[in-house]
């Protein structure tokens, strides 16, 4: 079990550091270009990921609003949820009315056609005397 952990822990650390490095914007990589950090992480299997996590990335939240909480703080929305928007609810009511009217028209047309078929069937057959 211990032998397995000796390989899995560095592998997991390397995968985590590689994904973190690839998801980091270029301007947040410190000391070296991002591509150099990728090679360091991959070539120096145990030391590379530790160096990346310790010194390779700016760890403070960026001022430009790249984190979701800062982005939402800088971008306010005046939109209302659809179930609270009266205009949206009115449009739904109008669509429902149109759909109900269309359904009634289809049902009336279907009844009319059924009546025509019944008349043809009864009118076309000879009557028994």
Write down how long the chain is: 129
Assess contact for 41 and 48: CB atoms under 8 A.
Answer: yes
Per-residue model confidence as pLDDT tens digits over 12-29: 999 999 998 888 888 888
Q: Average pLDDT, stretch 36-53?
A: 89
Residue 129, pLDDT score: 46
108 vs 4: which has the higher pLDDT = 108
Distances (CA, A) of 107 to 26, 40, 104: 64, 72, 5
Cα(11)–Cα(110) distance, integer angstroms: 69
- The full set of domain ranges for the chain reads 2-64
Q: Which two tokens stand for residue 30?
A: 């410190």
Per-residue model confidence as pLDDT tens digits over 50-105: 998 888 877 776 555 566 666 566 666 667 777 788 888 899 999 999 999 999 99
pLDDT value at 30 more than 90: no
């Amino acid at each position: 079990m211990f032998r397995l952990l000796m390989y899995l822990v560095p592998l997991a650390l390397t995968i985590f550091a590689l994904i973190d490095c690839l998801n980091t914007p270029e301007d947040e990589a410190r000391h070296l270009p991002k591509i150099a950090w990728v090679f360091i992480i991959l070539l120096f299997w145990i030391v590379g990921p530790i160096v990346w996590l310790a010194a390779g990335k700016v760890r403070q939240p960026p001022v430009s609003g790249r984190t979701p909480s800062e982005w939402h703080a800088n971008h306010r929305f005046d939109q209302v949820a659809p179930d609270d928007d009266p205009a949206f609810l009115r449009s739904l009511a109008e669509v429902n009315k149109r759909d109900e009217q269309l359904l009634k028209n289809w049902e009336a047309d279907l009844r009319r056609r059924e009546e025509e078929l019944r008349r043809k069937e009864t009118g076309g057959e000879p009557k028994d005397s």
